[in-house]
């Protein structure tokens, strides 16, 4: 797997100074405690009085002093190391070194190679799956093509390609973040102009919701569902034993798939596990939050394979089906809820 990414450059003056600082520290550490070179008469500590130690100490003081007295003179970008809690003193060596090591958000480009999966890519770049999926409008993250180009930010969030007429304020409102976050992440000022085709990083951005058209409760009319493509939680073509809708005078909020106990149950889409345990009539239940107000429920399992807080990939096995809770036989009860309102699962997956 090959990775391409842009990494902010360290100013040359800082690199030279930092290298010299390391040599000074090595002098201090490696000077033998028994050394008596240049020992000052009457002093009892040979290390403190050694010529080598004194030279190293003087060099160390000389190198660190400019950082405290005039940090701007070394080409450092103060915005790189803003500290929320004020725990670092402005202009101190620690603050400046932190500024060198911490990176601004940037755009990653990855070309899919044989064997790549969304899971391996997200682990390689230390980003979550939703960041990759949303940035590339992937309908099915389990089906990547060799040679496919994926572009996504180095932080959890989104990217936005500027269109004619866009403003920072409009973009911030669309993705539910502050304009300042976008400006800082992309090194823009309030007076900076953005141009069509420019790609901006939007840290913490949320995908805008897409309005759904109304359909019948039986699901005969497909709805224009939100942008989350779901895979079948068991196997496509599995017999449906009970559909979504009114059943025996009561509302059945999901769909039941007739499968034998122990069948692998898969996450219909990527997300975070919010429930994994026994819940009333559901028996052993897993609930996954996919963002955008969308959650999926997997009930009546015999064994749960994930825990609350786990981030799961689309198609990952999360449980084994069973007959727990209020159930008349082995099956999987599957629900899709948007803003806590039950939807017809057949509008999101294929039967």
- The pTM of the whole model exceeds 0.85: no
DSSP state of 328: S
Q: Are residues 265 and 328 in the same domain?
A: yes
3-state secondary structure at position 289 = strand
Does 64 reside within a domain? Answer: yes
Does 218 reside within a domain? Answer: no
Q: Are residues 253 and 332 in the same domain?
A: yes
Q: Which of 148, 183, 203 delimits the end of a domain?
A: 203
Does 145 reside within a domain? Answer: yes
Does 214 reside within a domain? Answer: no
Domain that holds residue 94: 8-101
Residue 324: how many CB atoms within 10 A of its CB? 19
3-state secondary structure at position 319 = strand
| Contact status, residue 185 vs residue 104, Cβ threshold 8 Å | yes
Query: Could you give the number of structural domains in the chain?
Result: 3
Q: Which two tokens stand for residue 61?
A: 């003081």
Q: Are residues 338 and 303 in the same domain?
A: yes
* Distance (Å) of CA 34 to CA 47, 48, 51, 60: 7, 11, 13, 21
Q: How far apart are CA 46 and CA 97, in angstroms?
A: 32
Q: Are residues 286 and 324 in the same domain?
A: yes
Does 274 reside within a domain? Answer: yes
Residue 237: how many CB atoms within 10 A of its CB? 8
Q: How far apart are CA 305 and CA 330, in angstroms?
A: 18
Residue 57: how many CB atoms within 10 A of its CB? 16
Does 231 reside within a domain? Answer: no
Q: Are residues 310 and 264 in the same domain?
A: yes
Q: Are residues 96 and 127 in the same domain?
A: no
Does 232 reside within a domain? Answer: no
Does 176 reside within a domain? Answer: yes
* Distance (Å) of CA 198 to CA 154, 164, 194, 195, 334: 17, 10, 7, 6, 42
Q: How far apart are CA 90 and CA 101, in angstroms?
A: 16
The CATH number assigned to the domain holding 131 equals 3.10.350.10
Q: Extract the runs of DSSP E, i.e. beta strands, from the chain.
A: 4-5, 107-111, 149-153, 157-161, 199-203, 240-242, 245-247, 250-252, 255-257, 264-266, 271-278, 284-291, 294-304, 311-312, 317-321, 332-338, 341-343
Q: Which of 78, 101, 124 delimits the end of a domain?
A: 101
Per-residue pLDDT of the chain (351 residues; tens, 9 = 90+): 555 555 555 556 666 777 777 776 776 666 554 444 444 444 444 444 455 556 656 655 665 555 554 444 444 444 433 444 444 444 444 444 444 344 578 888 899 999 888 888 888 888 877 778 777 877 666 678 899 999 888 887 778 888 888 888 888 888 888 888 888 888 888 778 898 888 888 888 776 654 443 343 333 333 434 556 788 999 877 888 888 888 778 888 999 999 999 999 999 988 899 999 999 899 999 999 988 889 999 999 999 999 998 989 888 999 999 999 988 889 999 999 998 899 999 888 855
Q: Are residues 14 and 86 in the same domain?
A: yes
The CATH number assigned to the domain holding 311 equals 2.70.70.10
Q: Which two tokens stand for residue 238?
A: 């599995």
* Distance (Å) of CA 259 to CA 126, 179, 287: 36, 50, 19
Q: Are residues 27 and 56 in the same domain?
A: yes
Q: Are residues 254 and 343 in the same domain?
A: yes
Q: Which of 67, 84, 101 delimits the end of a domain?
A: 101
- Beta bridge partners, 157, equal 203
Tally the C-alpha atoms within 13 A of residue 159's C-alpha that lie toward its C-beta. 21
pLDDT of residue 99: 43
């Amino acid at each position: 797997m090959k990775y391409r990414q842009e990494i902010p450059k360290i100013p040359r003056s800082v690199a030279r100074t930092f290298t010299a600082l390391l040599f000074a520290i090595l002098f201090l550490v490696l000077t033998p405690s028994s050394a008596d070179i240049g020992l000052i008469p009457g002093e009892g500590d040979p290390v403190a009085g050694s010529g080598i130690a004194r030279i190293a100490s003087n060099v160390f003081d000389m190198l660190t002093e400019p950082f405290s007295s005039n940090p701007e003179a070394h080409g450092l970008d103060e915005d790189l190391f803003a500290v929320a809690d004020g725990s670092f003193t402005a202009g101190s060596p620690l603050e400046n070194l932190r500024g060198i090591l911490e990176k601004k958000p940037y755009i990653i480009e990855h070309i899919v190679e044989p064997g790549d999966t969304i899971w391996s890519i997200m682990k390689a770049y230390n980003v979550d799956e939703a960041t990759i999926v949303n940035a590339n409008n992937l309908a099915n993250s389990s089906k990547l093509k060799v040679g496919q180009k994926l572009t996504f930010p180095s932080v959890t969030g989104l990217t936005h390609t500027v269109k004619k007429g866009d403003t920072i304020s409009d973009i911030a409102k669309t993705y539910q973040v502050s304009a300042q976050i976008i400006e800082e992440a992309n090194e823009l000022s309030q007076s900076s102009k953005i141009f069509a085709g420019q790609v901006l990083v939007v840290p913490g951005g949320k995908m805008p919701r897409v309005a759904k058209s109304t359909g019948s409760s039986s699901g005969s009319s497909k709805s224009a569902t939100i942008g989350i493509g779901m895979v079948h939680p068991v196997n496509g073509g599995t017999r449906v034993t009970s559909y979504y809708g009114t059943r025996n005078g009561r509302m059945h909020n999901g769909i039941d798939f007739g499968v034998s106990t122990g069948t692998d149950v898969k996450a219909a889409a990527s997300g975070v596990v919010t429930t994994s345990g026994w819940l009333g009539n559901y028996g052993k239940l897993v609930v996954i939050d996919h963002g955008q107000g969308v959650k999926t429920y997997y009930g009546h399992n015999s064994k749960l394979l994930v825990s609350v807080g786990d981030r799961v990939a689309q198609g990952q096995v999360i449980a084994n089906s069973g007959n727990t809770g209020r159930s008349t036989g082995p099956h999987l009860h599957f629900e899709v809820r948007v803003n806590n309102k039950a939807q017809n699962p057949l509008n999101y997956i294929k039967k």
